[in-house]
Amino acid sequence: MQPATHKKIVFAALGCGGLLVVLIVVSFLFVGKAGFDAPETQMPVAPLQAAVALDSLSDYDLAALLAPRGPDNLLPAASSVAAPVARWSGERHVILAFGDTFPPDSWQGESWRDDGAAVVIDSLRAGATRPPTDSQPTGHALLAAARVALDSADLVRAREEVGLALRRARELQARSDLLAVIAGLRLERDAARMIGADSLLAGTAGARGRAEATVVALDRRLRELRQVRALIAAAGASPAAIPGLAELVRDSTQPLAARDEMIHSIAYGWLLDPPEMSFGLDSARVAAMQRLAGADLPPDLQRTVRALTLGRPGMVQRFSLSLSYRTRRVESLDF
């Protein structure tokens, strides 16, 4: 029997719905293997599980968990009057992980230093406007550049680059996107790890101790935020919990980043609901998005609702959306 005949038999046995599920599972595996920070809950969620997840959100003080952090005070005050600004020396590099803990002679350590060598630090002229964040090197690229400076015994330059990374971390934490907040906390934790591991970079024993304490505090906060994100994903995966989740979105006492993540879960929770994957979005999900579109929400949340309102996509559109959604969210976080 020819290979083409085998394919026809397999395709006919699976049907369109089966092929759709197979391809979506493959896409989830690809995203997971790429190291992206996806929600922990990826299996289908029963209505009771979704209801329990929604109820469990009340165990967390989201306002405190997502409250702005105070000054970091992790580095000595800069002696230079001119404000430093970073740029790429050539082609933009993509850095997905903190590489300072790899052995210097490993390929990961060498790649980390190559990324850092591609960063150039200039002084911002008086009266000049700082370039847009998106055009500057990412936060982890700045930490890689600091490692290159430390290897060259250029302590002033290393502190400038770590300071810029900390500034980037705080900018991310101020966004209304929970993934951006988590990315900012990860970046600040990694900067603190770097300071705590290097007495020269820290400057004083007190600064090194503060950096180590910051790592512990941020690790704890990151664990809790990942748990919150998993609960939100689980609650949005079943139409039974959608009305309650939509109520939380409309609750102005909840932090913007948590409400934004809830909108994402309502709009795309059908990815974890097999009946909706097969037969289309549940009426409760569609109605919730329609009500949110007419609700009095902050501008950032209104933009999220407009961007994620799907209506009733057909099978082909659902397939396309399922493949692109998670990757698109991660690609939007070039930190």
Within a domain: 325: yes
pLDDT tens per residue, range 195-225: 999 999 998 889 999 999 999 999 999 999 9
Domain that holds residue 140: 83-222
**Structure tokens, 272:** 């974890």
Within a domain: 125: yes
Q: Are residues 147 and 255 in the same domain?
A: no
Within a domain: 6: no
Q: Are residues 202 and 289 in the same domain?
A: no
pLDDT tens per residue, range 228-239: 999 999 999 899
Residues of the chain with pLDDT under 70: 1-44, 77-82, 96, 126-127, 134, 325-335
Say if residue 2 is exposed, middle or buried (CB neighbours under 10 Å; 0-12, 13-18, 19+): exposed
Within a domain: 17: no
Question: pTM for this one?
Answer: 0.80
Q: Is 35 left (phi over 0), alpha (psi -120 to 50) or beta?
A: left
Q: Are residues 203 and 260 in the same domain?
A: no
Within a domain: 72: no
Q: Are residues 158 and 175 in the same domain?
A: yes
Total domains in the chain come to: 2
Q: Are residues 163 and 200 in the same domain?
A: yes
Q: Are residues 214 and 109 in the same domain?
A: yes
